[in-house]
Amino acid sequence: MSLSSVAIKRPVFTVMMTVALLVLGMVGFSRLGTDLFPDVAFPVVTVTVPYPGASPKEVETLVTKHIEDDVISLNGIDRVRSFSREGMSVTIVFFQLGIDIMDAATQVRERVSRVKYKLPAEAKEPIVGRFDVGAAPILTYTVSSPGSLSATRKFADDKLKPAIEQAAGVAAVEVRGGAKREIRILVDRAKINALMMPMEVLIQRLRAENVTVPAGHFIEGDREISVRT
């Protein structure tokens, strides 16, 4: 006996079975769990190289090009994108789906360590990281005050950030915006030209003078205080 024959000859049984399936479906749907932030691993690896004081063209020529040329030959790469900004080089390596992200990050890290000798001495240590969806910020707070931007930033760094970090379940807290204290140097171009001093020499001299080194320690009561110069 076919299904259509049963449905025609036994309409009450057919209706009851249909209603039962609908009820079971509604109960199952109401108990279906929903994960707003599922654990998804995208095969994407980023390489960030800080290069303080360099222009975007210098960053592209001296840093980004070397990174791109060395990682492009890895197996399983889908595409490579790079961004050269003032003082910063960012290279994003997209791998094909199915590639083990841990193995891909290890390969990229090995290639970057192999090319470090080609980078300028002023460039910072390359940072290799995996694209993690779970690391995206969950909550964003905006802080305002009648005071200056530097005072607001200092309050957020010294007071708000430690307090939020101590809350249960907080992985990391990052403060953005505001203003940090800095020293600006205005160069007299006429005097620099008269001394026949290239701008690179002046920058290197300033960088050499702006260094803190240990200078020993001294005892004050029951405390030992370190001295830096």
In SS3 terms, 124-142 reads as CCCEEEEEEHHHCCCCCCC
- Digit-coded pLDDT (tens) for 133-150: 666 667 888 888 888 888
What mean pLDDT do residues 3-21 have? 81
Which range, 12-16, 151-155, 181-185, has the best average confidence (pLDDT)?
Answer: 151-155
pLDDT for 22 equals 92
Is the confidence at residue 132, as pLDDT, over 70? no
Cα 125 to Cα 111: distance, rounded to the nearest angstrom: 14
Percentage of the chain surpassing pLDDT 90? 8
Q: Which residues contact 158 (CB under 8 A, 6 or more apart)?
A: none
**Winning range, highest mean pLDDT, from 122-136, 185-199, 212-226:** 185-199
- Is pLDDT at 78 greater than 80 in this prediction? yes
User: Does position 34 have pLDDT exceeding 80, yes or no?
Assistant: no
Taking residues 152-172, report their average pLDDT.
Answer: 86
Structure tokens at 11: 């309409």
On whether the CB atoms of residues 181 and 150 are closer than 8 A, the answer is yes
pLDDT at 216: 74
Average pLDDT over the chain, rounded to whole? 83
Please tell me which residue, 49 or 4, carries the higher pLDDT value. 49
| Sign of the dihedral defined by the CA atoms of residues 144, 149, 152, 158, in that order | positive
Give the pLDDT of residue 89: 92
Q: Say what the pLDDT of residue 212 is.
A: 67
Predicted confidence (pLDDT) per residue in 92-129, tens digit = 999 988 888 888 889 899 998 888 888 888 888 898 88
| 67: region left, alpha or beta (phi > 0 left; psi from -120 to 50 alpha) | alpha
Query: Which segment of 79-88, 126-135, 206-215 scores lowest on mean pLDDT?
Result: 206-215
Arithmetic mean of pLDDT, 40-50? 85
Check residue 197 and give its pLDDT: 83
